Amino acid sequence: MKQFFRLAALSSAALLAGATAHAQQTNRFTISGYVRDGATGESLPGVAVVHPASGQGTTTNTFGFYSLTLAAGADSVKLLVSALGYERQRLAEKAERSFTHDFRLKPASAELEGVEVVGSREEKVAESTRMGTINIPVSQIKLLPALFGETDVLKALQLLPGVQAGGEGSSGLYVRGGSPDQNLLLLDGTPIYNASHLFGFFSVFNADAIKNVELIKGGFPARYGGRLSSVVDITMKEGNMQKLHGEGAIGLIASRFTLEGPIKKDTASFIFSARRTYIDILARPLIMAQADGLVAGYYFYDLNGKLNWKLGARDRLYLSGYLGYDEFYANDESKRDNGDTYKQRNALGWGNRIAALRWNHVVNDRLFMNAHLTFTRYQFDVGSTQENHYQDNGQTRDEKYSLSYLSNIQDVSAKVDFDYVPNPSHYIRFGGQAIRHQFRPGAMQSEGNPDPTQNQAVGRRIGASEASLYAEDDVKLNDRLKVNVGLRLNSFLVEKKLYPSLEPRLAARFLLTEDWALKGAYARTTQYVHLLTNSSIGLPTDLWVPATAKTLPQKAQQFSLGAARTVRYKGEDFEFSVESYYKPMQNLIEFREGADFIGTTDDNYESKITSGRGWAYGAELFLQKKTGKTTGWIGYTLSWSKRQFAALNQGQTYPYKYDRRHDFKLVVIHEFSPTLTLSGTFVYGSGNAVTLAQGRYQLGPYDTYDDYGSRNSYRMAAYHRLDLDLSHTKKKRWGEVVNSFSVYNLYNRKNPYFIYLGRAEGSQQLSYRQVSLFPILPSFSKTFRF
């Protein structure tokens, strides 16, 4: 273990020493500072800061900090700062020595600049070393058609190539042949283990509280680890430091409200956001009318909050948190004429709690530090309680029985990251993280039984410790070749078993011309947590378990190769990219045949699972238009995803359930005027693979046997759907109101949700029948801002 940390420390030190020596070869000066939104004070990530005279430049980091080191000698320096959606800003200063300067960019008018759909960077797609990375501004996500009028961040990501949904209306992500547990979902740098509301139809991310969304599908930088398939890095707003601002919406099934503003102008700010459904309230009278005494319902809520303090010119402190919960309940009460009462309460609930404390510190004009303490907890529980009050032989008796099943995972983490920019040819990041995991895969508890031996609590907690160190350098070797090289070292200790891993990362781009670039990437990844699931629906019965001596960590490698180009047509830029990938995976787990979560506890879950391997490979095409009256993108994916388990399908390779050969997405947003916008999305995908019985045999008068043949050997019908949204903005003296009318599944396509074996009405013949979930669904929402 000591050698592990010593090697990481030496690697980081060597990387820094080399870059520092290179920086000191000539006499240089450094300009550094922050770039912020001039109207709100929000930090702006990914903004280009360029020195046109030398062609050198950099971009701001996640917190809006930039550092640009230039050769001395000029009497003055001129900088150009630009970001899509903002007016360009210039700076001309004498450059006798290093200095700091903060930029405040003015939002550009929609008439002049148009709007941005994908990507917040001014850097051309051909210039970046990163592959499989896309930024989506939340302002554009809000313009897309939404199911029941509820804007959903994860559903917007499903419209990108290489990403697909698990089923109709689901918010789950299946990225490049991976499963949902292989996605690292970060909210302000803190993992979210279950991102689903309403059994998977909505995600937990309230778009009104979010500033930026970034998806990484491949070529993972060394600073990210712990998952195999993707990283979804979501940043919350910091809170308006200039004035009080509010935003809210009323929809068919939910309402939300956000308030942000300064605590002390230019020094401290806050943001608070809340969302709740009212399905239970609307449906309660109908349920009570049809079932006397029964009170049943379902609801979920989200609460987001963040405080932002500017402690000084070099220090900033952030405190953020999230609380979300889903609950389905059914309570029944009956009373007899003799006074006896019987009550039964049944509930199913699940939710997340997270908290994050961040400290940003500018160590010097070239070195930036972010220290991070986080807490995250996901838990679900199923419970039933029965209370009886009755007379027995003249004696009053009160009885109470309860049975519950719960599962949870909890992390406490400390992390520190450094950004070091010695000169425009190097951007170095390094840091480390320590995590304390606590797992409770399944615990059964019963109380109130007169027989003491029947009152029990089954289940134990499993503790694990994880540590990681990383270093990476985005280095420009010459005018054509730029590489990002990194190394990540991980260790995972569980029940006296240590799993170390060494993960090299490499990404490179070579400019063929000013606009054409070839790109390649390689990443090795390790995942120490598993998700036991037997359903495509976002049910809370999915169980998180750690790697143990019997259950090895998941491992993967990903090879990527592609090309990118920026095409200018009639004065507007179109970005085109093509990427191919190959991803072999090891130590994947599944439930054994016939096993599921029922009765699964901490002590027996390993006997119910089996491990195997998988492969995913394919190619993705992506064409996007970022500016102008009409914006949008086209994405196409050709892919294969396969699995092989010794204990499943007789050890033979079979298609993964979400193996989808063809996947096509089209997104168009057209602005008729600053107050009227029409958007549409069209998706097409090959049918999911399913296992169906090939024949049924009669073994006796009452017994039958179904022969299912090879696993996932049948395909559902293809999935396709068209959605539209028309939004009209009305200006008011106090702000504005946006009325949105959406239509989900415009031409009423009956897409398959699942298939079952049954009989048609009036027929005795068994046949497979398709269940479709959502027909054409119009919805309306009203949003207000002040």
DSSP-derived secondary structure for 660-671 = -SEEEEEEEEEE
- pLDDT grade for 16, boundaries at 50, 70 and 90: very low
- 335 contacts 390 by C-beta, under 8 angstroms: no
End-to-end CA gap in the chain: 55
- Give 256-284 pLDDT, tens digit per residue: 999 999 999 989 999 999 999 887 776 66
Nearest to 609 by CA among 531, 495, 555, 525: 531
Q: Residue 288: what pLDDT? A: 53
Q: Residue 430: what pLDDT? A: 96
Q: Residue 20: what pLDDT? A: 47
- 19 contacts 353 by C-beta, under 8 angstroms: no
In the chain, the amino acid numbered 91 is L
Nearest to 33 by CA among 8, 71, 3, 64: 64
Displacement of CA 463 from its chain's centroid (Å): 25
Average pLDDT over residues 296-315: 91
| CA gap 93, 76 in Å, rounded | 5
- pLDDT grade for 25, boundaries at 50, 70 and 90: very low
Lowest mean pLDDT among 99-103, 134-138, 157-161: 134-138
Average pLDDT over residues 154-161: 90
| CA gap 110, 682 in Å, rounded | 26
- Give 665-710 pLDDT, tens digit per residue: 999 999 999 899 999 999 999 988 888 877 777 777 777 777 777 8
Task: State the DSSP H helix or E strand holding residue 281, giving kind and residue range, or none if neither.
Answer: helix 279-290
- Report whether pLDDT(111) > 50: no
| CA gap 716, 773 in Å, rounded | 14
| CA gap 755, 167 in Å, rounded | 13
Q: Residue 669: what pLDDT? A: 93
> If you average pLDDT over every residue of the chain, what do you get?
83
pTM for this prediction: 0.87
- Residue with tokens 């279950």, as numbered in its chain: 194
Domains and CATH numbers, the chain: 2-113 (2.60.40.1120), 133-686+717-785 (2.40.170.20)
Q: Residue 90: what pLDDT? A: 87
- Report whether pLDDT(471) > 70: yes
CA 388 to each of CA 136, 329, 401, 445, 459: distance values in angstroms, whole numbers, following the listed order:
55, 19, 9, 20, 28
- pLDDT grade for 10, boundaries at 50, 70 and 90: very low
Nearest to 170 by CA among 148, 205, 201: 201
- 600 contacts 440 by C-beta, under 8 angstroms: no
- Residue with tokens 């929402």, as numbered in its chain: 781
Average pLDDT over residues 719-745: 91
For residues 577 and 114, the model is more confident at 577
**Radius of gyration of the chain measured on its C-alpha atoms:** 28
- pLDDT grade for 524, boundaries at 50, 70 and 90: very high
Q: Residue 169: what pLDDT? A: 65
Q: Residue 523: what pLDDT? A: 95
- Give 569-621 pLDDT, tens digit per residue: 777 778 899 999 999 999 998 877 766 655 555 566 777 788 899 999 999 99
Lowest mean pLDDT among 69-83, 287-301, 364-378: 287-301
- pLDDT grade for 68, boundaries at 50, 70 and 90: confident
High-pLDDT (> 90) share of the chain, %: 39
- Give 388-441 pLDDT, tens digit per residue: 877 777 777 777 778 777 788 999 999 999 999 998 889 999 999 999 999 887
High-pLDDT (> 70) share of the chain, %: 86
| CA gap 607, 500 in Å, rounded | 25
- Beta strand pairing call for 630-645 and 654-655: antiparallel
For residues 111 and 192, the model is more confident at 192
- 462 contacts 439 by C-beta, under 8 angstroms: yes
| CA gap 465, 472 in Å, rounded | 24
